[in-house]
Amino acid sequence: MAKPKVAFYWCASCGGCEEAVVDLAENILKVVEAVEFVLWPVAMDFKIKDVEALQDGEIAVSFINGSIRTREQEHIAKLLRKKSGLVVAFGACAHIGGTPGLANFSNREIIFDYVYQKSPSLDNPNKIFPQEKTTVKEGELTLPKFYNTVFTLDQVIDVDYYLPGCAPPPDLIMNAVEAILTGNLPPKGTVLAPDKSLCDTCKRKITKPEKAVIKQFRRVHEVLLDPEKCFLDQGIICLGPATRDGCGERCINANMPCRGCFGSTSRVEDQGAKFLSALASIIDADSEEEIKKITDSIADPAGIFYFYSLPASMLRRKFRTEL
Amino acid sequence: MKVRVGVYICSCGTNISDNIEIDQLVQFSSSLENVGYVKLNSLLCSEDGKNYLAEDIIKEKPDRVVIVACTPKEHEKTFRNVLQRAGLNPYLFQMVNIREQVAWVTDDKNKATEKAKSYIRAAVKRVTLHEPLEKKEIDCNPDALVIGAGPAGMEAAHMLAKAGRKVYLVEKNSFIGGRVARYEDVFPKMECASCMLEPKMDEILHDENIELLLNSEIQEVLGFLGNFVVRINKKAGFVDNEKCIGCGACYEQCPVKVKNEFDYNLSDRKAIYVPYTGALPNVPVIDKKTCLRFEGQNTGPQKEAFEAGLITREEYERFKNQDCKLCKEACMFDAINYEDTDEILERNVGGIIAATGFELFDPSVLPQYGYGKIPEVYTSLEFERILAQTGPTGGKLLTKNAKEPESVAIIHCIGSRDKDYKDYCSSVCCLYALKFAHMIEKHSPEVKVYDIYADWCVPGKDNQAFLDSIKEWKNIEFIHTTLPMNVVSKMKGEKIDLHCIDISEKKRKVSADMVVLCPAMIPGKDTAKLSELLLIPQGREGFFAEGHTKLAPVSTNIEGVFIAGCAQGPKDIQNSVAQGAAAAGQALSILVPGRKLELDVMTAEIDEKVCAECMICVGLCPYKAIVIDKEKRVAVVNTVLCKGCGTCVAACPSGSAKSWHFTTEQIFAEIEEVLK
Amino acid sequence: MSDFEPRIVGFLCNWCSYAGADAAGSARKTYPPNVRVIRVMCTGRIDPQFVIKAFQAGADGVMILGCHPGDCHYKEGNYKALRRFHLLRKMLTQFGIEEERFRLDWVSASEADKFVETISDMVQKVKVLGPLKREIAA
């Protein structure tokens, strides 16, 4: 029996998801034994034209990580969609946009202006900007278009499953691979992690008081973090209540609050907005003055609440701003 | 399966059609997805209109109905009833307000029509997402628990018992009557307080429906409206209520003498005692702290008594290591049982009334009055005991040295109406000050009374006349001061000099043998504890918070828990009794034997399959309707208590809470459609 | 800019502000038709997702009108709304949504005039700001 063909591709990504595959440790041998890679730029020498040569649907499953920032990434994503039976959005960037998604608070013009003109460490006296087409004496060079907006994978192609996390934990990856190989898959569109918020399995849940109240917000460098108490009770912003379970609370167990990389549960459309609602509701103040004082103390609410999920949020990006 | 929506447009006579192009609305509605038909009517809320609607729904059998007319606040209920009549679930219906909020307020007919269209589009989309909601009912226990056997509590208990309900009347003391048991006379008619209370107390003691639990306190309250379980700690009294005939032989023999709290330590009692002659029920109790068989073995109390000169050294020595059985041996009815123990009783009730009364602000924090330092400075409650026939002086006006005073000064507003202490008026002090003046005059007309007041608070039918009559008396001098805080008591020999400034800013000084202070009424000591047990909030100044100042004075946020009397706020006996009756009325109205409790339909619900017990919602509910199921480790909404405000649903960060009839999907649909 | 007619969504609570809007109707007071009212039982129900959904779906402004503090039919819903409002308004500025486009105010059932004033004022302010401009996607 021929081994199922598998592709692993990275878009606007940091390489951490590739590392996650390596983190499978001994299990990676099981995977390598069971499948045949047809594309894995970081590790193998297959070319795009090799993929183009395949039949439609010939690839059993493509794991695509990273968000979509350039035309090339969109192009490859579409190519892999065409050639694959299943497409899995691998990791937070593909799933909900990831940290590259924070660029949606800006736009191409502003980014290029800073990177190619204003950055203090720059040496670009002729103000050269990357162009999509450049003519040199040898011919024409092309660069993929840099989009104005960062997209999630499912905003450019049809996605079958999502493996959440920055990066997805090894056990979740193994479960997903096994499910695919055995054909034991949930309905299309499922995120392959439990559909509850992570407070469900968090060790600190037991310390939560009946009435949650926050009198003052603190940042992690401002206080000695109690390794056992719920972060919210310490006045530290932790996105746990608004974040899907499945990561084993790796960050929390390392005494750092959750930053929401698994995205929201399936019942919430906008993770940042819902978290804002929960957090604001438990602020311990009733007068406008007191409330404002406390809310003003959060320097960058959008950046914290949408740290991973901005492109997947309802607004997706900031409204138009001039330079 | 496609959902078929029937749209009914009402022109409201010409009210709507005058300002909106109705034909355009009909055409537009017909063009919308899911709309099966559109019908026009001129007055849907009329009898004819309603009959037409019912008949048409029966005929057309739509899956959903949209009625485009006036404000839902006017006729949503009306049309829901029609739908019910026509066999369609009343919640599969959405009303569109194009009268109050469009036709009547938009000057441009075209703009009004456009606005109406967008509302109709939104309603049609929303209604396809509605779910049929069924009314829910639960059983309820019609019995009640009343906490506090003062005038308010007794009135409530009596009313409930007469209506056939079982009433558990919990009283922390060994007697009923509350504070009023301490008064000799009451204003303004100067009636005898005990005579006034007698008949009511008699009913309380003999009504078969009332289980009187004395020496008892609430330990735990579980459950909710119609289904409370209350745990009561009934302390041992050591005297059998059934066997005791109240002869007093036991306490005559008791060798212990200690201060009597009932008389504010102005008199003595024994370790086995009734607090005053005539206390009801007439059954003594043994005070474990001072009885020689119990903690009284510790010679502490006896030592104090010896040092106070109440007992001789011989007697004191005799107290150590005693197997004292004097009271039991004196009792001819074998009513005394030293083996009696505290017990926890459990009672099931449907409603709870808290009528736990008041106590007085402690004037010793205001050193200018000399309370606690100068022996003849009294609070009003202490003075009540002096004037009472059952009190330390047998009702004679005497100082602690058993002398008759030549003059008595009464000072109003102690700690009252002052931002730094209690900022409110306690409403009864002026009147009882006048009562005191009246009683002093009756005892000894030669005694000079100085009444130092700031303002007169004498509302009601009878009270102004009471004041006016006393103003005529020769032996009373009224001193009108702007600031009672400025009155200073200084001992001068055996007398007390009172320095004050009257309203003409003249310095005044009067000399009195006794000074009576009228301190603010504050909530009883146990109010905070009960507030936690019953989950009712303490409002202003620590009194129990009523549901609404004007419209719900005896209800609370917590369904089934009512408040009455001074526990709700300072008031006189008349108003306490009225509130007791009101609270009983509320309970009688909600808890009807045989009738089930109908629950709100548009409540919140938490999906237990996905709730992660993050606890964000629990503390947000003002009705304490969300509890944690410790076994399932999820939050659960008690639909009996839920009022459907949706706060928990908005806050739930994992989207596990849902608001029936105001779901997120329904509101999203409205938002998207209304902006198209 | 004088042609621009803002589209504004108003979330009104059943017991106070919605009744106040009805009162304005009964008194036949006219006001600009730009605000589309969505009725909720309590402003405490207002999920920030509703506000963002409105901006996503094309609103140029969003209003929340509730009961005066202390008068909420459900005791405290308006206080929760107030807390969420302040944090949300601050966060929305990071999305390029100016503070004036998102407003919370208290209107009681008898305050027909205040209702009309609040609506008119909001419409005017958003008119001056102009429409919310969307960025090009790619």
> For position B311, what pLDDT does the model report?
79
The pLDDT of residue B299: 57
Same domain, B313 and B250: yes
**Mean pLDDT for the stretch of residues A3-24:** 93
pLDDT digits (tens, 9 = 90+) for A93-102: 999 999 999 9
Contacts of C28 in chain B (CB under 8 A): 104-105
Q: Average pLDDT in the B485-510 region? A: 92
Confidence of residue B640 (pLDDT cuts 50, 70, 90): confident
Query: Domains plus CATH for chain A?
Result: 5-99+148-182 (3.40.50.700), 109-147 (no CATH), 198-312 (no CATH)
Instruction: Please indicate, yes or no, if residue B674 is contained in any of the structural domains.
Output: no
Distance from CA of residue A27 to its chain's centroid?
24
CB contact under 8 A, B671 and C53: yes
B115 and B67 both lie in a single domain: yes
C12 and chain B in contact, CB less than 8 A: no
For residue B312, CA distances in Å to B293, B303, B305, B318, B336 come to 20, 10, 9, 10, 27
In a domain, C4, yes or no: no
Examine residue C106 and state whether it is found in any structural domain, yes or no.
yes
The yes-or-no verdict on residue A322 having pLDDT over 80 is no
**Claim to verify: residue B418 and residue B280 sit in the same structural domain:** no
Return the closest-CA partner of residue A101 out of A170, A169, A42, A147: A147
Q: How far is CA A254 from CA A203, A225, A229, A258, B32, in A?
A: 12, 11, 13, 10, 55
> Based on the domain organization, do B376 and B472 belong to the same domain?
yes
pLDDT greater than 60 at residue C1: no
Q: What pLDDT, on the 0 to 100 scale, is given for residue B576?
A: 97
Domain coverage including residue B101: 5-133
Assign A69 to helix, strand or coil: strand
Q: With cut-offs at 50, 70 and 90, classify the pLDDT of residue B181.
A: very high
The whole-number pLDDT of residue C49 equals 98
Residue B390 and residue B489 in one domain: yes
Residue B38's pLDDT is 97
Would you call A277 and C133 a contact, using CB atoms and an 8 Å cutoff?
no
Q: What is the mean pLDDT of residues B224-230?
A: 93
CA distance C81 to chain A (A): 8
What Rg, from alpha-carbon coordinates, does chain C have? 15
Nearest alpha carbon to residue A269 among C97, B127, B613, B664: B664
R_g of chain A, CA atoms, integer Å: 22
| Percent of chain B whose predicted confidence (pLDDT) is above 70 | 98
The answer to whether A318 contacts C133, with C-beta atoms less than 8 Å apart, is no
Inform me whether the pLDDT recorded for A323 exceeds 60.
no
For residue B554, what are the contacts with CB-CB under 8 A and spacing of at least 6? B546, B562, B563, B564, B568, B579, B582, B583, B586
B673 band by pLDDT with thresholds 50, 70 and 90 = very high
The encoded tokens of residue B169 equal 């009347």
Does residue B303 register a pLDDT over 80?
no
List the domain range (segments joined by +) for residue C119: 17-128
Cβ contacts (< 8 Å) between C104 and chain A: which residues? none
Is residue B399 domain-resident? yes
| Residue B15's pLDDT band (cuts 50, 70, 90) | confident
Q: What residue has token string 């530290």?
A: A236
Same domain, B200 and B166: yes
Whether residue C90 and residue A277 make contact (CB cut-off 8 A), yes or no, is no
DSSP string spanning B636-674? EE-TTT-----HHHHH-TTS-EEETTS-HHHHHHHHHHH
Is the confidence at residue B600, as pLDDT, over 80?
Answer: yes
- Report the distance separating Cα B537 and Cα B665, nearest Å: 35
Q: Is B671 on the interface with A (CB under 8 A)?
A: no
Q: CB distance B645–C57 less than 8 Å? A: no
Whether residue B508 sits in one domain with residue B373: yes
Helices (H), B506-654: 527-534, 573-590, 647-651
Task: Report the pLDDT value the prediction gives residue C25, as an integer from 0 to 100.
Answer: 95
The pLDDT tens digits for B332-383 are 999 999 999 999 999 999 999 999 999 999 999 999 999 999 999 999 999 9
Is a pLDDT exceeding 70 seen at residue B20?
Answer: yes
Q: Which residues of chain B are within 8 Å of residue A274 when distances are taken between CB atoms? A: 652-655
Is residue B201 within 8 A of residue B185, CB to CB? The reply is no
Indicate whether B497 pLDDT > 60: yes
Instruction: Check whether residue B283 and residue B373 sit in a common domain.
Output: no
Residue of chain A minimizing CA distance to C105:
A288
Distance CA B215, CA B231 (A): 14
Which residues on B lie below 8 Å from A309 (Cβ)? none
Identity at C127, one-letter amino acid code: K
Residue B315 has pLDDT above 80, yes or no: no
Provide, as residue numbers in chain A, all residues whose Cβ is less than 8 Å from the Cβ of C56: 314-315
Q: What is the mean pLDDT of chain A?
A: 95
Q: Which residues contact B121 (CB under 8 A, 6 or more apart)?
A: B28, B32, B673, B674, B676
**Interface check C74 vs B, CB under 8 A:** yes
Task: Determine the average pLDDT of the residues in A57-66.
Answer: 97
Q: Nearest Cβ partner of A288 from C51, C82, C132?
A: C82
* Strands across the sheet containing B488-492: B488-492, B495-501, B507-512
Number of domains into which chain C is organized: 1
Q: Give yes or no: residues B11 and B87 share one domain.
A: yes
Determine whether the interchain pair B654/A196 forms a contact, defined as Cβ–Cβ distance below 8 Å.
Answer: yes
The better pLDDT of the pair B119, B549 is held by B119
CA distance B207 to A312: 69
Tell me if chain B has a CB within 8 Å of the CB of A195.
Answer: yes
Residue C10 lies in a domain: no
Average of pLDDT values for B45-60? 96
Give the ipTM of the model, two decimals please.
Answer: 0.97
What was the pLDDT predicted at B430? 96
In the prediction, which pLDDT does B300 show?
64
pLDDT in tens, A253-299: 999 999 999 999 999 999 999 999 999 999 999 999 999 999 999 99
User: Which pLDDT tens digit goes with each residue over C48-104?
Assistant: 999 999 999 999 999 999 999 988 889 899 999 999 999 999 999 999 999 999 999
Average the pLDDT over B651-659 and give the result.
Answer: 97
Q: Which residue has the higher pLDDT, B323 or B345?
A: B345
Residues B494 and B547 in one domain: no
Q: Considering only CA atoms, give the Rg of chain B.
A: 33
- Minimal CA–CA distance to B10: which of B38, B51, B31? B38
Q: Is the pLDDT of residue B57 over 70?
A: yes
* Residue-wise pLDDT tens digits, C105-132: 999 999 999 999 999 999 999 999 999 9
Q: Give the Cα-Cα-Cα angle A234, A240, A241 (nearest 5 degrees).
A: 95
pTM of the model as a whole: 0.83
In a domain, B666, yes or no: no
**Sign of the C-alpha dihedral computed for residues B597, B600, B604 and B606 taken in this order:** positive
Instruction: Tell me the pLDDT band of B298, cut-offs 50, 70 and 90.
Output: low
Q: Does C40 touch chain B (CB under 8 A)?
A: yes
| Average of per-residue pLDDT values in chain B | 94
User: Which of C30, C58, C75 comes nearest B675 by C-beta?
Assistant: C58
Assess C90–A contact: CB distance below 8 Å, yes or no: yes
Confidence (pLDDT) at A321: 67
The residue of B606, B609, B614 whose CB has the most chain A CBs within 10 angstroms, and thus the best one to mutate to test that interface, is B614
Do A276 and C134 lie within an 8 Å CB cutoff? no
Quick one: pLDDT at residue B305? 78
All chains having 3 or more CB pairs closer than 8 angstroms to chain B: A, C
The confidence band for A201, taking pLDDT boundaries of 50, 70 and 90, is very high
CATH number for the domain that contains residue B502: 3.50.50.60
The number of folded domains in chain B is 5
pLDDT tens for each residue of B126-175: 999 999 999 889 899 999 999 999 999 999 999 999 999 999 999 999 99
The answer to whether residues B417 and B435 belong to one domain is yes
**Contacts with B372 (C-beta within 8 Å, 6 or more apart), sequence order:** B363, B364
Q: How many C-beta neighbours within 10 Å does residue B43 have? A: 16
B412 pLDDT tier (thresholds 50, 70, 90): very high
**What's residue B320's pLDDT?**
65
Strands B521-523 and B561-563: unpaired
Chain-chain contact of A295 with C86 (C-beta, under 8 angstroms): yes
Residue B544 lies in a domain: yes
Q: From the list A301, A315, A318, which residue is nearest C90 (CB)?
A: A301
Residue C2 lies inside a defined structural domain of this protein: no
